[in-house]
Structure 1
Amino acid sequence: MSRTDYLTLGFDDSPGARTALRWALDEAGRTGAVLRLAFVLDAPAVPALMPYPIGWPDQAAMDVAVAVLDGVAEAAARSHPGVAITRAVLKGAPARVLEDLSRTSRLLVLGSHGHGGFTGMLLGSTGVSVSAHAHCPVVVVRREADPRGQVAVGLDGSPASRSALRFAVRAAVSRGVPLHAIRVWAPPAPLWQPPGFDPDAVLAAELAALGKDLAAYPEPQITAEVVAGHPAGVLVSAARHAQLVVVGSRGHGGFTGMLLGSVSQHLLHHAPCPVAVVREPAPSTPDVDH
């Protein structure tokens, strides 16, 4: 099956995973994707002096995971009868397994908190690794958002942000809602401002650059703004009026190092709506129609 067919959900039956499940079902229903439920069984945490649990996960653990996914799939078939669902119970480190599954996914969806193999996924190395290295866009669902809200996208003119813009446009069109595009620039401190520094001229240049990025998209309805400030705070504020906020994995200007630095961590921790992280596709990778 090609990568355009699967919407993969990392699922562990935690409350966070259940919230992400509802989002993923709605998204699969909108886009016609096959929802793949992936339950990853990792070794449980044990004290350093205790022996490693040999043979984990055992057949009993596998049977429990299969039963959980069977129940989820049956309930989903009733609530979303048009969505095709597949199930997979897998062994290994969650980050590595999910990154591998992303190779055959159009989208990878994660909840913000879990248990078992997904414990602390967003707050530790697993969530950062998945978002940084997945081969498809990753959506992290912290909480459910108002479906009437707009889609917001952070732009800085980098290739990654242009990929984010394409994703955001498709998301807004599929939902029938407006798109709000935001470009952030950080004014230099007064001590470091060059002679003749003109913030109005900088603002005009930023607006022109943003308009150029948006010119290729006659749909959906797009509003745009250039904001002087810190990207983390600006995007979290925009997310309060959004049902989805989209960012590129890496950029320049105000978004430099966003994925692995403080901005992305702040957004993933504090955005009041789902967050999509979109990597720039490799040159040999076709643009995913989503």
Structure 2
Amino acid sequence: MTAPGIVVGANGSATSTAAVRWAAAEAQLRGVGLDVVVAYQWRIPGRSFASRGELVRTTGAHVREILDAAVNEARSSAEGVPVRGAAIVGDPVPVLLEAATDADLLVVGGRGRGSPGPLLSPVTTQLAAYAPSSVAVVRPGWSSDRRTVVVGVTESPGASTTMGTAFEEANLRRPATLLAVTAQTGPDRVLDQLAPWRGKYPEVPVVCHVASGEPGAVLVEKSREAGLLVVGAGSHQDFEGLRLGPIRLHLLHHAECPVLIARDRR
């Protein structure tokens, strides 16, 4: 298969359906294709089977139902987007990491507020940390009517990639405002970081906000009225969780809009 622009993981849950819808809308904005990927094992929790043949037939039908529903959801959500579906045997993390090898963006679901268990599954955490591409984490309840893109501004080595991604996303969503939030630097330094991107995207209005509170809490607050929150990928530690850092993990758990972790593929 040729490389898609966007890959989205699906498993039949309400959370993954929200991710599929968002991924389809994003593919339409970018003018790229979408691959819907279902990772599965030869088993159905809570079910036993008399023979391997029965197991294969039942699991295959179950997986096909999930995949067909997700592909149909994507096509109905964003008319004209080329959508392909693939059901692949294996654990979700390695399957989706492999599927995203040449993609621009990997989209996965995060559990919604009020759902049982943690707001973010271990699968989502690992994909957000280790995907080779940028990753968007989407929960049910996202709204395309929100026209603000929030970006967390830092002086880290990946700051330029993060800022460029935020401007690109705001430009795709025009008319949209880019809200640049920082708690670690002064307004002059923020303006310096914004300058080259404002020149490239002159039609994107920008608002700067220098926060006095804890960065994670401030960005969560700003996410309540935003359509997208863009953050950097962070450091390259070898241990799950540390790679994302505590602020990014906090945002993935608690932000009230989709969170995009920006990575440079060049």
Distance 2:40 2:117 in 1: 15
Alpha carbons of structure 1 residues 64 and 221: separation in structure 2 relative to 1, 3 Å: same
Alpha carbons of structure 1 residues 126 and 237: separation in structure 2 relative to 1, 3 Å: same
- Give the gaps of 5 or more residues in structure 2: 236-240
Q: Which moved more, 1:123-132 or 1:56-65?
A: 56-65
Shift of 1:109: 0.6
Question: Secondary structure at 1:157's aligned position in 2?
Answer: coil
> Does the aligned pair in 2 maintain the 1:41–1:90 contact within 8 Å?
yes
Alpha carbons of structure 1 residues 184 and 59: separation in structure 2 relative to 1, 3 Å: farther
Shift of 1:18: 1.0
Shift of 1:107: 0.7
- Give the gaps of 5 or more residues in structure 1: 48-52, 186-202, 252-256
Residue equivalent to 1:188 = none
Question: Secondary structure at 2:137's aligned position in 1?
Answer: strand
Residue equivalent to 1:262 = 246
What are the Cα deviations for residues 43-101 of structure 1, in whole angstroms up to 9, with x where unaligned?
A: 66989xxxxx9899734312321233223333543443211100110111111111111
Alpha carbons of structure 1 residues 95 and 72: separation in structure 2 relative to 1, 3 Å: closer
> Whose radius of gyration is greater, 1 or 2?
1
Aligned length: 249
State the AA in 1 paired with 2:59. Answer: A
Residue equivalent to 1:207 = 187
Indicate the RMSD between aligned Cα atoms, in angstroms. 2.9
What are the Cα deviations for residues 160-183 of structure 1, in whole angstroms up to 9, with x where unaligned?
A: 232111111110000000101111
Alpha carbons of structure 1 residues 55 and 125: separation in structure 2 relative to 1, 3 Å: farther
Distance 1:129 1:75 in 2: 26
1:123 aligns with 2:112: no
Alpha carbons of structure 1 residues 264 and 29: separation in structure 2 relative to 1, 3 Å: same
Residue equivalent to 2:8 = 9
Distance 1:158 1:92 in 2: 36
State the AA in 1 paired with 2:131. Answer: A
Query: Identity over the aligned pairs, expressed in percent?
Result: 30
Residue equivalent to 1:234 = 218
Distance 2:103 2:55 in 1: 25
> Does the aligned pair in 2 maintain the 1:153–1:247 contact within 8 Å?
yes
Residue equivalent to 1:164 = 162
Alpha carbons of structure 1 residues 120 and 11: separation in structure 2 relative to 1, 3 Å: farther
1:24 aligns with 2:23: yes
Task: Give the alignment partner of residue 100 of structure 2, picking from 99, 102, 119.
Answer: 102
